[in-house]
Amino acid sequence: MKLFTFLFFCSLNCFCQNALVKNVDDFVGVDIYENYYYLQNSALHKSSLNNDYKNIKYGTPDVVDISNPLQVLLLYKLFNKVISIDNKLNFIAEYQVPFGTDLIASAGENKIWTYNNIHKTISVYNLKTQKIEIRSILITSKITQLKGDLNKAIITNTNNQLETYNFVARKITSTPLKDTQLSISMRNLYVLKNNKLYKEKSEITNTPKSIVSFEVQNNIFYYFKDNSIYKTFLTQP
């Protein structure tokens, strides 16, 4: 038993020794090329670049979508603006979005999913035409996270439900989260629960306490804790 306890705490110490970057304001996520993104002093950073993106006019972005690394999207809620930048963090374009837009996610070329906290709906919004193309019915629970692609939107809400909406914004699935923490992308099968990382129902590893957010990409576990980003390699069961 003593040996097990010793090894357990050693494993946690190993987690904490692999800090990638410190003094981070928020961990944005990891793209398919294993680049990790984070916010620091109102600027967006990408691990493979020496430069960053900072918008002096609008300040710190409220939402950053990196699902398409070639066109990263940044939402500035107070100004009802979305900025798109390329894979080198260079400015591409600026778009107006409807008043009340609280969350965004990519919905394919020139389109985004939006959650409007005033109308309590999710929509597919065309950035070029500045028109809503599809809108859901009223959603009574406040949405806390939104991810998406061409075919669907995935949301979590204040009722601790994970829900999926199809391409015409109709809800097709609803799953209780049961005190589990999802990855930032909400696209893989990994969850955190009781300081353990699971893939589906299989336990992968013990984790440190107080993890704010995490992502798994190519069997690498990235996590955000104490204003620092760490990573460790996973061994699948």
Q: Which residues contact 203 (CB under 8 A, 6 or more apart)?
A: 196, 197, 237
Q: How far apart are CA 210 and CA 224, in angstroms?
A: 9
Neighbours of 165 (CB within 10 A): 22
| Strands ordered across the beta sheet of 196-199 | 181-182, 190-193, 196-199, 202-206
How do the pLDDT tens digits run along the chain, 237 residues long?
A: 444 444 444 444 445 457 999 999 999 999 999 999 999 999 999 999 999 999 999 999 999 999 999 999 999 999 999 999 999 999 999 999 999 999 999 999 999 999 999 999 999 999 999 999 999 999 999 999 999 999 999 999 999 999 999 999 999 999 999 889 999 999 878 999 999 999 988 999 999 999 999 999 999 999 999 999 999 999 876
Residue with tokens 């398409």: 68
- Secondary structure of residue 13 in the 3-state scheme: helix
Neighbours of 133 (CB within 10 A): 13
Q: How far apart are CA 54 and CA 15, in angstroms?
A: 31
- Report if pTM > 0.85: yes
Q: How far apart are CA 165 and CA 136, in angstroms?
A: 9
- One-letter amino acid at 31 equals D
DSSP 179: S
